[in-house]
């Protein structure tokens, strides 16, 4: 593993692109990381970063704290995790499907792929990266807080189609990256000294993980997805903004005394599981793949083990293109998907094995796209061979579930998904 890169990741609070990432965002992040890695490695250690993160959160401007009802209690993380409500669920081998694809003509191609291969699941955007609810909802509270857009014109017709083709339906809900909710309700976000809502360099705004209204809003969307027929809720962007520790003391936002960022993110996951488990739906969370190989990312509030303990499925994003030179002793990880995936799974098992019976199903996101932004000589065109290499590495590490990511939903032809 490249220690410089690992230290950089922790120091910057998990700089990288939370899955699923737009290619341009990945390129920007990797370029930034490359430019700063040497300086960071000389001045920052994981321990120092964690200490700095703790100081930053203590200094953050805060309004009155929300009630503790979603978090259950100060000891919310100590109770025994709830069991998987679907012990007989199929072994999922799925693909990512945007709301545009789900509601458009591309769905014919994707459904044909499912019908003709060993693939059996679709992860469909129900609340997308901008924060739009992607279908028409009659829920007045969701309409008030969010902004439904009928990218999926007839959600019930879609669900009937999925059932007819025996597709295991997973609803993807982007949680704390939510420009729509932040702009409509600045009090639920992070506000700058001039009264405007903070946004990152790409114009994306986040909402505050400490706020119980944000928790309930996202879980209410999940509950509606369950009523529609989704069998699993996959939460994405379950974190603070990247590099948050560097601006935590200059923004105004509600927080809970005595709760660190890691605590509150973990508490949200536990709350979601408590609310959704009785409905018979599984809960999964996407998390940075490197999180299995480094200490907790205090800056963004993600702890691989704490999150994993309270989900049914954990989906580390282990795209080879997201690892740099030296990870798993590989010069160019993108060019050696087998070794990269194998190394990431070894680290994932080591991180999660101590959970024993509470260890969730490991279902990684793997790469089915070409990372040309890495530059000549550092990437290869991804297709049948590269996808099969990743699947083979997973299988050798006793991981028999996976999800394929391609931003445009154009998946490689001729892949043996049982490789």
Which whole number is the average pLDDT over 391-399?
A: 98
Q: Which two tokens stand for residue 48?
A: 């120092």
Q: Taking the CB of residue 44, how many other CB atoms lie within 10 A of it?
A: 16
pLDDT higher than 70, residue 278? yes
Each residue's pLDDT tens digit, 166-221 = 999 999 999 999 999 999 999 999 999 999 999 999 999 999 999 999 999 999 99
Per-residue CA distances from 45 to 39, 52, 204, 262, 329 (Å): 12, 10, 29, 18, 21
CB 288 within 8 A of CB 297: yes
Per-residue CA distances from 241 to 12, 169, 175, 202 (Å): 10, 28, 12, 12
Domains of the chain and CATH, by start: 3-72+93-405 (3.20.20.80)
Per-residue CA distances from 109 to 113, 114, 123 (Å): 6, 9, 15
Each residue's pLDDT tens digit, 94-128 = 999 999 999 999 999 999 999 999 999 999 999 99
Q: Which pTM value belongs to this model? A: 0.85
* Higher pLDDT among residues 72 and 351, named by residue: 351
Question: Rounded to whole angstroms, how far apart are CA atoms 362 and 339?
Answer: 18
Each residue's pLDDT tens digit, 303-347 = 999 999 999 999 999 999 999 999 999 999 999 999 999 999 999
Q: Which two tokens stand for residue 141?
A: 């509270």
Question: Rounded to whole angstroms, how far apart are CA atoms 413 and 387?
Answer: 10
Each residue's pLDDT tens digit, 279-308 = 999 999 999 998 898 888 889 999 999 999
Each residue's pLDDT tens digit, 29-83 = 333 333 333 222 222 222 222 233 332 323 344 433 333 345 444 444 457 889 9
Q: What is the pLDDT of residue 42?
A: 26
Each residue's pLDDT tens digit, 385-394 = 999 999 999 9
- What is the chain's Cα-based Rg? 20
pLDDT higher than 70, residue 22? no
Question: Rounded to whole angstroms, how far apart are CA atoms 169 and 161?
Answer: 11
Per-residue CA distances from 220 to 31, 78, 93, 134, 406 (Å): 38, 25, 27, 14, 28
* Higher pLDDT among residues 24 and 315, named by residue: 315
Sign of CA pseudo-dihedral 151, 157, 162, 165:
negative
Mean pLDDT rounded to a whole number for the chain: 85
Q: What is the pLDDT of residue 9?
A: 41
Q: What is the pLDDT of residue 30?
A: 37
Contact residues for 222 (Cβ-Cβ < 8 A; gap 6+)? 171, 173, 233, 235, 272, 275, 276, 281
């Amino acid at each position: 593993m490249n220690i410089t890169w690992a230290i950089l990741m922790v120091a910057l609070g998990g700089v990288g692109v939370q899955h699923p990432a737009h290619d341009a965002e990945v390129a920007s992040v990797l370029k930034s990381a490359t430019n700063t890695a040497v300086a960071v490695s000389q001045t920052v250690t994981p321990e120092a970063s964690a200490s700095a993160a703790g100081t930053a959160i203590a200094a953050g401007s805060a309004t009155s704290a929300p009630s503790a009802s979603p978090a259950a209690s100060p000891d919310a993380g100590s109770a025994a995790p709830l069991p998987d409500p679907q012990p007989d669920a199929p072994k999922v081998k799925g693909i990512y499907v945007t709301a545009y694809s789900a509601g458009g003509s591309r769905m014919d191609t994707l459904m044909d792929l499912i019908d003709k291969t060993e693939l059996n699941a679709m992860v469909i955007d129900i609340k997308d990266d901008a924060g739009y609810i992607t279908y028409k909802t009659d829920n007045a509270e969701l309409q008030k807080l969010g902004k439904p857009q009928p990218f999926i014109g007839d959600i019930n017709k879609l669900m009937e189609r999925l059932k007819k083709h025996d597709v295991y339906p997973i609803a993807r809900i982007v949680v704390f990256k939510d420009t729509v909710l932040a702009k409509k309700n600045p009090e639920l976000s992070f506000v700058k000294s001039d009264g405007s809502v903070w946004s990152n360099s790409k114009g994306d705004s986040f909402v505050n993980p400490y706020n119980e209204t944000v928790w309930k809003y996202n879980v209410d969307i999940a509950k509606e997805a369950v009523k529609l027929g989704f069998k699993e809720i996959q939460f994405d962007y379950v974190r603070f903004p990247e590099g948050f520790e560097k601006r935590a003391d200059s923004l105004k936002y509600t927080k809970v005394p005595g709760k660190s960022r890691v605590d509150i993110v973990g508490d949200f996951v536990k709350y979601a599981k408590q609310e959704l488990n009785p409905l018979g739906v599984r809960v999964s969370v996407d998390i940075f793949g490197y999180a299995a190989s480094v200490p907790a990312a205090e800056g963004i509030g993600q702890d691989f083990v704490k999150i994993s303990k309270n989900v049914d499925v954990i989906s580390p994003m282990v795209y080879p293109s997201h690892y740099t030179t030296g990870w798993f002793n590989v010069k160019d990880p993108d060019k050696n998907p087998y070794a990269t995936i194998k190394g990431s799974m070894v680290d994932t098992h080591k991180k999660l094995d101590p959970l024993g019976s509470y260890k969730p199903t490991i279902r990684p996101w793997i790469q089915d796209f070409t990372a040309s932004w890495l530059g000549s000589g550092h990437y290869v065109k991804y297709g049948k061979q590269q996808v099969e290499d990743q699947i083979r590495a997973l299988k050798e590490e006793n991981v028999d579930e996976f999800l394929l990511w391609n931003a445009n939903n154009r998946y490689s032809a001729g892949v043996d998904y049982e490789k």
